[in-house]
Each structure stands twice: as structure tokens, then as C-alpha cells.
Amino acid sequence: MSAGGLRELKKNRTRQLIADTANALFRARGFDEVTVDEIAAAAQVSKKTVFNHFPTKEDLVFYRAENREAMSLAAVTDRPAGVSILDSFRALCLAQTRFVAGMRRDLVHPRSFFDLVSGNPSLERKMHEVNERITRVLADALAAEAGAEPGDPLPRIVASTLVGAQRALYRRLRQRVREGGPDEEIERAHRADVERVFDLLGKGLGGYPPG
């Protein structure tokens, strides 16, 4: 591996270590009760290193946001030829079932991700920012593919609909996991939800972008 590759690997490992350490502390004690100094000490890095990887304390909770944005954007820009954006997002939402095992582990903790965010103003604002950014990035990609005129509201409307569907389906899947039951039943019900939602959306958005 090249020197640059080793540096990138070390950087990614450090970032993951900081995120894992922070979230373990947040779950044990709560977001507001943990300081960045404590996170740095527990991860055995400097406070400056923490902020080099995560500009704000809230970013430590949303450290997977970049991956979600990348997957959502790829559903638009990297989809196979002949596959509509709607069907690409349908596949992305069907694949949410791969998170079931992680959801089960998450729900065992006294403070899951959603427990941390719910009712915490700064984290709720950050979640809004994350969703707003993903919607904006998707809208830009849709506008570019459609050759939309500046100010055309349609790319934004379509992007908001897709992000909203993705989030709502994920929340429903998580609710089913919380309620219990065999994985096979949960996954079957989720697939039915996804198909129902995207079949309905297809009646209005199936031809966008045109061509």
C-alpha cells in the first residue's frame, strides 16, 4: 500500500475510533452530559484531532450521514442504464432490511440513536440539516440530469419526496423491529410497504426525469 493509502487508512481508523468512543459515552450518559474533552481523553487523541474529524459535537452523533448521502446520490447518478430513478430508490429502500440486525442491537441500549436525538434541540436541528443537505444534493443531481431551468421547483419536489419516502419507510421498519417478531415476517412486511409506496409514487413521478 502506498504512503498516501496508509495515511488515509489511519485517518479513517482514527475517525471511526472517535465516533465509536463518543457514541458509547453518549449512550451511557446522554449527549449533553459528555464533553468533547472527555471523548478525546477516552479515545486517546487530542481535542484538536476530534474537531479535525468532526467540526461539531453534533457531528459525532451523525457520523454516518456522509454514507447515507453517498448512497442516496448514487441511486441517482450511478444507477444502471434503463433503470428509472424511482426504481433505483425502490431498490435502495428494499435494501434497508440489511439494517435489521443492527436495529435489534441498537434497541438494546438504554439510549438508541433516535432516543438521543428525540427531544434534544441541537441534535434535532442537526438531523434537519442532514436531511436538508441530502435533499439539496439530490435535487441538484436531478436538475442536472433533467436539464432543468434555474429555479424549476420540480427537482426539489421530487428529491423531497424520495428522501421523505426513504425516511418514513426506515422509521416503519425500525418500529416493526421494536415490536418484535421473526426477521422473515419483518422483512416481508417491509417489502410490501416499499412496493406499495413506490407503486403509488410511480403513477406521478415514474417518468421523471424525462428520457
Q: Which residue from 62, 60, 91 is spatially nearest to 74, judged by alpha carbons?
A: 91
Average pLDDT over residues 35-45: 97
Q: In residues, how long is the chain?
A: 211
- Cβ–Cβ under 8 Å, residues 76 and 144: no
Confidence class for position 112, pLDDT limits 50, 70, 90: confident
pLDDT computed for residue 151 by the predictor: 93
From the CB of residue 114, how many other CB atoms can be counted at a distance below 10 Å? 13
Residue 3 has pLDDT above 70, yes or no: no
Residue 53 has pLDDT above 90, yes or no: yes
Cα–Cα dist 70/184, whole Å: 28
Assign residue 181 a region (left: φ > 0; alpha: ψ between -120 and 50; beta: otherwise).
Answer: left
Give the predicted TM-score (pTM) of the model. 0.87
Residue 4 has pLDDT above 70, yes or no: no
Q: Which residue from 38, 56, 209, 30 is spatially nearest to 118, judged by alpha carbons?
A: 30
185 class by beta-carbon count within 10 Å (0-12 exposed, 13-18 middle, 19+ buried): exposed
pLDDT tens-digit map of 128-167: 999 999 999 999 999 999 999 999 999 999 999 999 999 9
Residue 1 has pLDDT above 70, yes or no: no
